[in-house]
Amino acid sequence: MEKIDDKTLQGLRDMGAFGLQVPTEFGGLGLTNTQYARLVEIVGAHDLGIGIALGAHQSIGFKGILLYGDKKQKEKYLPSLASGEKMAAFCLTEPSSGSDANSIRSRAVLSPDGKHFILNGSKIWISNGGTADVLTVFAQTPIKDPKTGETKDQVTAFVVERGFGGVTNGKPEKKMGIKASNTAELYFDNVKIPIENVLGEVGKGFKVSMNILNNGRFGMAAALSGTMRNLIRKAVEHAHQRVQFGKTIDTYGTIQEKLARMAMKHYVTESMAYMISANMDSGATDFQIEAAISKIHGSEAAWYVCDETIQILGGMGFMKEAGIERVLRDLRIFRIFEGTNDILRLFVALTGIQVSRGRSTEW
């Protein structure tokens, strides 16, 4: 499936799936983080491509409006985004900027009349890039230091509408997995952004981007928990029915050990997802380390569980008919996007080192 069919999209709209955590006053369901995690887990058990389309829309796409938007921005954008009438996307990655988000080259310069920022640049590998109407875009803006008078570029976050003009996208990317989700390059050519569409403060966009990613990262562990639960179910069913050497293979120690390890990894991932969501619901704001760890562990555990499921099913697991090869392809991206596992490991280590030295670090 190279795209989500219209019937499925409409069904998701009818269920309110595009505005799960949008407050009811703006047309959403107003779910808690824990309730959101539960629904994401269900989606993750069935189709990660659809999960990515939904997550790119609300977990990061318009999350900045929820976290940093003022009253007018929320009133203007959230109702149509919550209903699914409009789609959202998070636009950070560029050809020369991946993990080093501060090195983006897209630029937004204030117009002579001071009413708009003029945006030029491009973004790559943007989930929902070809379908989104509302974009959270990060660009360098020249900022003058009031103390020294020196002007330096700093990242600013903007809410950009495709309807502003000058926004175009490339063809959908041909990907290894999550094929149902739209991924495309975006181009910005002299896009006029009203100054009221700055998200947060001018020059504070890097912090905005990191907080958006930190806030939505726990959902990845929840989705992968659902994926692992479904894979384990398939593995157990096959092991219970498959007879070799006169016995079902679930009676052999080798298979039992595989299933035990798979269950352990699933349990840890699920526990982390709901621990973090519960902490967030109780008002905790310092959860970025836990979220990073849950993303690292969840993505690697899900890959392990999927690989072992294929092994237990043997030749059948390698066949397209079983549906597991698609899951394996879908899973590979989870160790890369929304913070590579390599960078997140450095983040965890750096934070621990700095805290032990009496300093703090912010992402």
End-to-end CA distance of the chain: 36
Could you give the dihedral angle defined by the CA atoms of residues 171, 172, 173 and 177, in that order, rounded to the nearest 10 degrees? -170
* Closest residue by Cα to residue 216 from 139, 127, 155, 129: 127
For the chain, give the secondary structure using H, E and C.
CCCCCHHHHHHHHHCCCCCCCCCHHHCCCCCCHHHHHHHHHHHHHHCHHHHHHHHHHHHHHCHHHHHHCCHHHHHHHHHHHHHCCCCEEEECCECCECCCHHHCCCEEEECCCCCEEEEEEEEEEEECCCCCCEEEEEEEEEEECCCCCCEEEEEEEEEEEHHHCCEEECCCCCCCCCCCCCEEEEEEEEEEEEHHHEECCCCCHHHHHHHHHHHHCHHHHHHHHHHHHHHHHHHHHHHHHCEECCEEHHHCHHHHHHHHHHHHHHHHHHHHHHHHHHHHHCCCCCCHHHHHHHHHHHHHHHHHHHHHHHHHHCHHHHCHHHCHHHHHHHHHHHHCCCCCHHHHHHHHHHHHHHHHCCCCCCC
The yes-or-no answer on residue 338 being catalytic is yes
Residue 165 phi, psi dihedral angles, 5° rounding:
90, 150
Look-up: residue for tokens 């993505």?
Answer: 299
Catalytic residue of the set 237, 308, 338, 362: 338
- Alpha carbon distances (Å) from 173 to 120, 178, 180, 207, 350: 22, 11, 11, 29, 35
Residues designated as active site? 338
